[in-house]
């Protein structure tokens, strides 16, 4: 068994008594034994992540309790490149809260009938009722990036969307719905690494789609449309939060912290 007690900068890593207690827990031992070479510093970092995640999940329960009691309506939408970790972040956000008062929306491609409707219509149909939290795993912003890059919409349809989207979000906010927009950003190298992991894991292979297969080839096109999206829709009224997501655990923590900071819930409410 190989144990690596060194940090990435090759300086000595000193284990405190408190650190040792953390590693001597169920979570610490699992973190130590889950991957070779066995790395104490990495395991400790993961235990710290789990402890911080648990505290933030308590706050998410408090936020949801406040939303239910005050008939609040909340939308949190996630965008980002394929394999950026949107689904993983959403799972950590929702795994402890009341499932009867929240929904995860990941819409498939529109039906033939839906293609004849106003573009935003099928998304509006998924909006929250009083006391409900709705998380969009991709949203109407498909038309800002994914659709034009892959030829799923016309240039005119793209232009109409870009003209309407800020007004659409203004109406959402004026109606009393709280809207949080998160974009998870990864490097090209990290995306390829995650694609390789997905392809080699029988339990994850279903995640790989035809669109994913072309993501690396179309990387620069995605970048160009992403920049246009931010320039147009990163407004003072409805801003984007860009989260660096090469390290999944840090990205998940940042996502939750941003949600808690964005919604003025009662932090003293009993749960």
pLDDT at 4: 47
Q: At a CB cut-off of 8 Å and minimum separation 6, what does 28 contact?
A: 22, 43, 44, 47
- Going by C-alpha positions, the residue among 198, 178, 199, 196 that lies closest to residue 262 is 178
Instruction: Determine the Cα–Cα distance for residues 241 and 243; give it in Å rounded to an integer.
Output: 6
Q: Could you write out the DSSP letters of every residue in 130-161?
A: TTEEEEEES-GGGGTTHHHHHTSS-HHHHHHH
Instruction: Determine the Cα–Cα distance for residues 55 and 106; give it in Å rounded to an integer.
Output: 27
Continuous segment of H or E residues that includes residue 181: strand 178-185
CA 180, chain centre distance (Å): 11
Instruction: Determine the Cα–Cα distance for residues 18 and 134; give it in Å rounded to an integer.
Output: 39
Contact 119, 140 (CB under 8 A): yes
Q: Is 114 exposed, middle or buried (0-12, 13-18, 19+ CB in 10 A)?
A: middle
151 conformational bin, left if phi > 0, alpha if psi -120 to 50, beta if neither: left
Sign of CA dihedral 97, 101, 102, 108: positive
pLDDT of 169-214, one tens digit each? Answer: 999 999 999 999 999 999 999 999 999 999 999 999 999 999 999 9
**Strand partners of residue 39:** 4
pTM higher than 0.95: no
- Going by C-alpha positions, the residue among 128, 126, 123 that lies closest to residue 168 is 123
- In 3-state terms, what secondary structure has residue 39? strand
Q: At a CB cut-off of 8 Å and minimum separation 6, what does 247 contact?
A: none
Domains of the chain and CATH, by start: 71-262 (3.40.50.300)
pLDDT at 42: 78
pLDDT of 110-153, one tens digit each? Answer: 999 999 999 999 999 999 999 999 999 999 999 999 999 999 99
Four-CA torsion 113, 117, 123, 129, nearest 10 degrees: -100
Q: Tokens 């929702």 appear where?
A: 94
* pLDDT confidence band for 32 (50 / 70 / 90): low
Whole-number percent of the chain with pLDDT over 90: 82
Mean pLDDT of all residues in 97-109:
97
């Amino acid at each position: 068994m190989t144990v690596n007690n060194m940090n990435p900068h090759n300086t000595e890593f000193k284990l405190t008594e408190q650190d040792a207690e953390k590693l001597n827990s169920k979570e610490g031992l699992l973190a130590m034994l889950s991957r070779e070479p066995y790395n104490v510093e990495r395991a400790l970092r993961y235990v710290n992540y789990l402890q911080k995640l648990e505290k933030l999940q308590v706050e998410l329960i408090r936020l949801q309790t406040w939303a239910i009691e005050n008939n609040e309506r909340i939308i949190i939408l996630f965008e980002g490149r394929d394999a950026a970790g949107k689904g993983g972040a959403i799972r950590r956000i929702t795994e402890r809260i009341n499932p009867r008062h929240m929904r995860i929306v990941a819409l498939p491609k529109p039906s033939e009938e839906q293609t004849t409707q106003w573009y935003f219509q099928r998304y509006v149909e998924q909006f929250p009722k009083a006391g409900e939290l709705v998380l969009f795993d991709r949203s109407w912003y498909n038309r800002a990036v994914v659709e034009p890059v892959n030829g799923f919409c016309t240039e005119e349809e793209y232009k109409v969307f870009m003209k309407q989207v800020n007004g659409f979000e203004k109406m959402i906010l004026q109606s009393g719905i709280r809207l949080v927009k998160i974009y998870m950003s990864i490097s090209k190298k990290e995306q390829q690494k995650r694609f390789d992991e997905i392809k080699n894991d029988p339990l994850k292979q279903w995640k790989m789609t035809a669109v994913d297969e072309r993501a690396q080839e179309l990387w620069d096109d995605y970048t160009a449309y992403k920049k246009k999206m931010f320039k147009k829709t990163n407004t003072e009224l409805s801003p984007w939060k860009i989260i660096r997501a090469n390290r999944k655990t840090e990205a998940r923590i940042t996502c939750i912290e941003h949600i808690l900071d964005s919604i003025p819930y009662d932090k003293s409410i009993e749960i």
